[in-house]
Amino acid sequence: MQQSLSINQLEKELGYPRNSLHSYKENREPSAQRLIEISLFFKVSPFFLLGIEDIDSRPKNLESAFERLSEKQKKQLAELIFRWIESKI
């Protein structure tokens, strides 16, 4: 079930001053920090909020998400997993 959320309610949830998000409807653009905070709140990418990415373009499973990573990111992920496993033993 999806609930409606007013802009004022969203501002309150995120701790923003009243009417700060309304200015983005006009001609102001959000800072990168605000864009990330809002995207995290809604669990979407900043690119989706900017209209650059379709919500359906997100990976559907871990394997497809892994395939999208660069080699460097895959190595970082492997190191992170290894450290996590070591901490559980």
**Is 45 found in the same domain as 79?**
no
**Is 49 found in the same domain as 30?**
yes
**Is 70 found in the same domain as 31?**
no
pTM for the model stands at 0.55
**Is 83 found in the same domain as 47?**
no
* Token reading at 66: 């892994």
* Token reading at 88: 């559980």
Structural domains of the chain, count: 2
Expressed as residue numbers, the domain containing 85 is 59-89
pLDDT in tens, the chain (89 residues): 456 888 899 999 999 998 888 888 877 888 889 999 998 998 888 888 888 877 666 666 777 778 878 899 889 999 999 998 998 87
**Is 87 found in the same domain as 49?**
no
**Is 65 found in the same domain as 50?**
no
Residue 64 has φ and ψ, to the nearest 5°, of: -70, -35
**Is 47 found in the same domain as 9?**
yes
Cβ partners under 8 Å of residue 24, min gap 6: 30
* Token reading at 14: 């995120």
